[in-house]
């Protein structure tokens, strides 16, 4: 049996029908044809399905769609929709994207980190992304991209920046 769920999706009101057993990942990919959120392991291990629920990273494959009611969801489709996000620019410029399968989840996990801690050290970046697996890059470029983005945010926030 399906039920209507009302929530905010990428800054806009959304009303969607979902069977009771659907996860957020099912709703995004099968119900709303939003394919940017990746289905990797389907059991909470790889982080490819990471989305931000009320600003917090969650694994979309583990959370029921019904839990979206009245809440705010950000997916990769809502990141850089108007202009490229600094994280996306840094990932592209520094070669932090190879096959790209892990990238949406990485970007969203990194966004949550930088929102909570705009000046993380490398250890904090590694810790924040520890649950997001990448088979291609060896992580070095990904960590570098997040650090570079944090540095740019700090420069822009500095009163002495010109």
Site residues for ligand FES per CB under 6 A: 39-42, 44-49, 59, 61, 97-102, 134-137
Nearest approach in angstroms of CB 132 to ligand FES is 9
- CB nearer to ligand FES: pick between 41 and 154: 41
- CB nearer to ligand FES: pick between 41 and 119: 41
What is the rounded distance in angstroms from the CA atom of residue 72 to the CA atom of residue 4?
16
What is the rounded distance in angstroms from the CA atom of residue 126 to the CA atom of residue 129?
5
Nearest approach in angstroms of CB 51 to ligand FES is 10
- CB nearer to ligand FES: pick between 136 and 153: 136
* 3-class SS of residue 8: strand
Interacting residues of 54 by C-beta distance below 8 A, sequence separation 6+: 71, 72
Nearest approach in angstroms of CB 58 to ligand FES is 9
Interacting residues of 110 by C-beta distance below 8 A, sequence separation 6+: 87, 125, 128, 129, 145, 146, 149
For residue 143, which of 71, 74, 82, 87 has the smallest C-alpha distance? 87
- CB nearer to ligand FES: pick between 89 and 153: 89
Nearest approach in angstroms of CB 18 to ligand FES is 17
């Amino acid at each position: 049996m399906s039920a209507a769920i009302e929530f905010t999706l990428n800054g806009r009101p959304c009303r969607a029908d979902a069977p009771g057993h659907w996860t957020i990942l099912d709703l995004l990919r099968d119900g709303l044809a939003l394919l940017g959120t990746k289905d990797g392991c389907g059991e909470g291990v790889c982080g490819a399905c990471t989305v931000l629920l009320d600003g917090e990273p969650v694994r979309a494959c583990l959370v029921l769609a019904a839990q979206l009611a009245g809440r705010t969801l950000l997916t990769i489709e809502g990141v850089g929709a108007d202009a490229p996000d600094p994280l996306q620019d840094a990932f592209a410029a520094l070669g932090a994207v190879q096959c790209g399968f892990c990238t949406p989840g990485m970007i969203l996990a990194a966004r949550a980190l930088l929102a909570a801690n705009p000046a993380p050290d490398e250890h904090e970046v590694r810790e924040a992304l520890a649950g997001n697996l990448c088979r291609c890059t060896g992580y070095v470029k990904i960590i570098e991209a997040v650090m570079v983005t944090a540095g740019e945010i700090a420069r822009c926030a500095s009163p002495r920046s010109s």
